[in-house]
Structure formats: C-alpha cells, structure tokens
Amino acid sequence: MTKFRYKVSAATGKCVLFTDLDGTLLDFETYSFSASQPYLQRLIAAGIPVIFCSSKTLAEQLSLMAAMEIHVPAIIENGGAIYLPYTECPADPSAEDCGTLIPLGPPAFEIQSLMFKAEQQLGIELKSYAQIGPAGIVELTGLSFSDAERAGKRCFSETFTATIDLDQQLALQHFFSQRGLQMQCGGRFHTVTGKGVDKGNAVRRFLLGPESRHRFERQPSIGIGDGPNDAAMLLAVDQAFLVKNHRQQWAEIDLPHLQRIESTGPAGWIELAEQLLATELSDSPKSPAHSHQDRLKMPSWCRRK
C-alpha cells in the first residue's frame, strides 16, 4: 500500500472524521463492526475525533457505541439532530442524560401527521415504521426485536417501507415539498425529514455552530461514505472518500474533491483509517482549517474522477 502524509498546521491539530455507518463502518448485510472496531478505537486513542453520521436513530447509535466501547458525537436521522456526548458518561441507549441533543429539523410527530394526510390524499399506503411497529421492522430487516425497537424511536424523521413507482414518488415529493418536508431514498427504504435537513448541513453545524465549533472548527474535515445519501456530507468536508458499496460499485456521486477507494465497505474504511493513523503533523504553521492546499496525497488504492 502506498503511504502518504497528511499535512496540517501544528497549531491546528489533527483532522476530524465524519463517517457513515451502514455499508461503510459496518458491514452492509450483517451490520457487523468486528473488522473496523479496532481501528476506530485506535483513531480515538490517537486523538482523532470521529463523528458518526447516519440515518440511524440516537437509540441505535448509542447502542452501537456501547457495543463498540466508545462514546462519540453523532449526526442522527440523516441530519435531523446533532448529539454531543458528555465526556464523563459512557454511551447508554437507556439513559436520557448522557449527552446533549441539538434539533435541526421538525419533530417526528409532525412528520407522521403529514404522512398520514399524504396517504389519505394520494391513496398510497406508506407502511411507516410507526405503523408497522417493531415486529414489522423485524420481518423486513432481520433485526432483533430490541434493535427494531431502537430503529423505530425516531425523533426528527420517519421512515416508510412501501415500494413506490416513479409517479407515486413524484407525487409524494411534491406533497411533502409543499409542506416543508422532503423525502430521501436510503439503502432500503424512504425517509421523510424537514426540508433542508441533510448530513451536509449537520456537518457544517458541527464545524461552525456555537455548540461545538470550539472543538472542531480549526480541524480539517474528512468524510467517508458509500452511497448517494452521503453526497451532502461528502460535499461539506474538506476531503471526501467513497468506498465501494455491497454491489462492488461506487455510487454515482460526482464531486471535484472526491477520492474513490477500491475496497468495499469496512475494508475500504479500514484502509483510510490506517492511512490516517500513519500521518504526521506538518511543522508549517501556514494552513488554516478547511484549506484545500494541504491534502491527503492520493494513495494507490484511491481513484479520482
């Protein structure tokens, strides 16, 4: 593997890594983190902030953190809110006071109410998570019942599982857009959020918002994902990396600073983590955060369109 150095100002510190979960940090089919966990823990131990950035709920992400024996900041529900952990507390999906939640979109009950109106007006049965309940989520996803319960605990979005054709998709998009909402297609299902809510805006809030900018604003940002749902996040960071998806293909994302990793999912994530762990701080004080002058040099396992 070709090694490279990541040059940042000694006064600036290390990078901050925003990572997608399903299909990137986690195996797409099994949701396993066994391969990536040691590298994730090494990144955190090395002082490199890692931010989870996913469509998963806070309950899901806290459960994952607890299983991985970490407690990190997170963007939940595709940018519906930001979670900032209390450093002295472990990740606990059953606790209500292990961190601060910053809403960036409307509450789920408002979204669910408008989805019900869409069903009535358009004659489409959406089969939302709230409607099918944990048992229905288990049947469709293969998750355990407890994991399905956590997936259904949506606070700033709602997921629906119905298969829709193009005409229905366009009708729903128009309906939601007229009411301040938007619909996004994830890896398996569709999710409805507030208009303008996405991973990219949440990343910018992380880096520039008053709640967290003192921790992250002077650190160059890196993002890694696997699908179209990650495009907004990858656009918002200084350096963007795309792993191949479970079909052994790169998602159709076209960004000028995007670097494509040859490996799939967690294997590609590990390659980037290894490179970050191998980097050294530059002695030069010239580079401010978010400068595109100091970049990760292109390793052999990346391609650029």
- Binning pLDDT at 50, 70 and 90, where does residue 187 land? low
CA distances 209 to 131, 173, 194, 198, Å, are 35, 30, 19, 15
At the topology level of CATH, where does 16-104+198-303 sit? Answer: Rossmann fold (3.40.50)
Question: 279 or 243: which carries more pLDDT confidence?
Answer: 243
Count CB-CB contacts under 10 A for residue 298: 12
Q: Which of 3-7, 42-46, 134-138, 220-224 comes out lowest in average pLDDT?
A: 3-7
How much is the pLDDT for 244? Answer: 96
Q: How many CB atoms lie within 10 A of CB 257?
A: 14
Arithmetic mean of pLDDT over the chain: 86
pLDDT at residue 15 greater than cutoff 50: yes
May I ask the CATH architecture of the domain 108-194? Answer: 2-Layer Sandwich (3.30)
CA nearest neighbour of 147 among 53, 62, 40, 50: 62
Question: In sequence order, which residues have a C-beta less than 8 Å from that of residue 167 and are 6 or more positions away?
Answer: none
- Model confidence over 127-186: pLDDT tens digits? 999 999 999 999 998 889 999 999 999 999 999 999 999 999 999 999 999 999 999 876
Q: Where are the domains of the chain?
A: 16-104+198-303, 108-194
How much is the pTM?
Answer: 0.84
What pairs with residue 53 in β-bridges? 75
